[in-house]
Amino acid sequence: MADNNKKMVEEITSMEVDFGRWYTDVVKKADLVDYSSVKGCMIIRPYGYAIWELIQKQLDERFKATGHENVYMPLFIPESLLQKEKDHVEGFAPEVAWVTHGGSEPLAERMCVRPTSETLFCEHYANIVHSYRDLPKLYNQWCNVVRWEKTTRPFLRSREFLWQEGHTVHATAEEAQAETEQMLNVYAEFCENVLNMPVVKGRKTESDKFAGAVATYCIEALMHDGKALQAGTSHFFGDGFARAFNMTYTDKENKQQFVQQTSWGVTTRLIGALIMSHGDNNGLVLPPKVAPTQVVIIPIAAHKPGVIEKADELTARLAKSFRVKADKTDNSAGWKFAEYEMKGVPLRLEIGPKDIENNQCVLVRRDNRQKYFVSLDNLEAEIENLLNELGKAIYAKAAANMDAKTYDCKSIDEIISARAEKGEGFVRAMWCGEEACEDEVKEKTGVGSRCIPFAQENLSDVCVCCGKPAKHMVLWAVAY
């Protein structure tokens, strides 16, 4: 048993040796993804897709609760439509896939595979919004998008990914701003409560905002290795696209006005984020709310009379309250322990002849391997409680990681030595607001600006780079 266990664990690279290889080992060994002959795209396998379905379901509930409706827009965008908003086309054209032929016929106008759907939503809204009575329109779409990335990595950066994109239009800038903030808050709450992942909310600098946006807001998470990951974005467009696409409405005074617009999105990247936030050298550690299997039941000494029957009975009973499965294969218990640790199943339930005799079972937490002998009489309550505890514990662990790896720096040299001595993390440092300084910090220290956090502190009065008066505290990091 111990041998088997050891063998499994040895199959993945240790995080401390090579975090990048640990990550790709885990996504492969935990059966989340596979590769194919389609370069830069991934196959999302059943276990990975089940996580995405749970993310989708719980996000979608939140979108609907805030009044949003789902729609489906075409996959393709004609080149002329993509070109209507100048900043937008400049941002996206270099990284789109172009369709040039339908069957054997060349197309009159080539079309790109959507990298994002602002242009299509704009055209549609221009078509269906006429009066203030038609506003707001609060639409969302779940779909695939394509961006022709040069270097790819499962979940984190791939040529095709799955996401949701919310697109809304409003009568006033205030309403659109409120929507932008509301959805950023929905994302942050979701990351914290469902993915057990702490995030920092903030605004992107001018150089880093979405192509065509007035302002881009984001949530940034810190991975176990101290690199940052942008987990979600929410954009305020003002009337920029509205002017380009002639999206107008008649207000109560019968005047023509441009609509005010937002968009916001999260992607299958979130799966990458939760792997790198919670995983360890035994594999995945899944947040209970998105774990496809929350409890795996493992019969011990399964050949003994009554063991399999009891395992079946418990599976049926627990399936009423949890996502549960029993592994009744003839693999060794040790192999199974390692397998479900690799897969990050939050709780393992062991049931053997002695346990049955004592009307109990053994529960083992994935995150800290703590063992609990639990009476079968109040099993549901115990499991519920342990799943909650586990969720809180992995959140606390990730938050502690973020705290330990957040460094306040007052000079370029301090940033350089913090990185050298303490490793990657969030660098907090003051900034004058000039793009030249942002670029210089990146060039000299290697960390880029991630966001201007909403929660500002005055670390010093001057810019970390030029020494002129500081405008903002910025979060800097090396990012995925």
Residues near a second copy, by CB under 8 A: 34, 36-38, 41-46, 49-50, 52-53, 69-78, 80-81, 93-104, 111, 113, 120, 123-124, 127-128, 139, 143-144, 146, 148, 159-160, 162
Nearer to a second copy, 37 or 254 (CB): 37
Nearest to 360 by CA among 368, 348, 352: 352
Nearest distance, CB of residue 26 and a second copy, angstroms: 17
φ, ψ for residue 411 (rounded to 5)? -150, 165
Is 144:162 a contact under the CB 8 Å cutoff? yes
Nearer to a second copy, 140 or 230 (CB): 140
Nearest distance, CB of residue 320 and a second copy, angstroms: 16
Nearest distance, CB of residue 179 and a second copy, angstroms: 17
Contacts 24+ apart (CB under 8 A), 246-252: 246/126, 247/122, 247/125, 247/126, 247/129, 247/169, 248/126, 248/129, 249/129, 249/130, 249/131, 249/132, 249/134, 249/135, 249/171, 250/130, 250/131, 250/132, 251/132, 251/171, 252/132
Nearer to a second copy, 161 or 476 (CB): 161
Rg (CA), the chain: 25
Nearer to a second copy, 43 or 316 (CB): 43
Report in angstroms the alpha-carbon separations of 257 from 154, 172, 261, 340, 345. 44, 9, 13, 58, 53
d(CA 81, CA 87): 13
Contacts 24+ apart (CB under 8 A), 62-66: 62/186, 62/189, 62/190, 63/140, 63/164, 63/166, 63/186, 66/138, 66/182, 66/183, 66/186
Report in angstroms the alpha-carbon separations of 424 from 148, 225, 275, 280, 428. 28, 7, 18, 18, 12
Nearest distance, CB of residue 101 and a second copy, angstroms: 4
Nearer to a second copy, 97 or 302 (CB): 97
Residue 468 DSSP symbol: S
Nearer to a second copy, 80 or 378 (CB): 80
Nearest distance, CB of residue 429 and a second copy, angstroms: 34
Nearer to a second copy, 330 or 457 (CB): 330
Nearer to a second copy, 32 or 379 (CB): 32
Nearest distance, CB of residue 438 and a second copy, angstroms: 26
Nearest distance, CB of residue 41 and a second copy, angstroms: 4
Nearest distance, CB of residue 271 and a second copy, angstroms: 12
d(CA 319, CA 295): 9
Nearest distance, CB of residue 56 and a second copy, angstroms: 11
Nearer to a second copy, 90 or 435 (CB): 90
Tell me the three state secondary structure of residue 408.
strand
Nearer to a second copy, 124 or 343 (CB): 124
d(CA 385, CA 314): 18
| Distance, C-alpha 95 to centroid of its chain | 22
d(CA 31, CA 217): 33
Nearest distance, CB of residue 110 and a second copy, angstroms: 8
Nearest distance, CB of residue 39 and a second copy, angstroms: 8
Nearer to a second copy, 41 or 362 (CB): 41
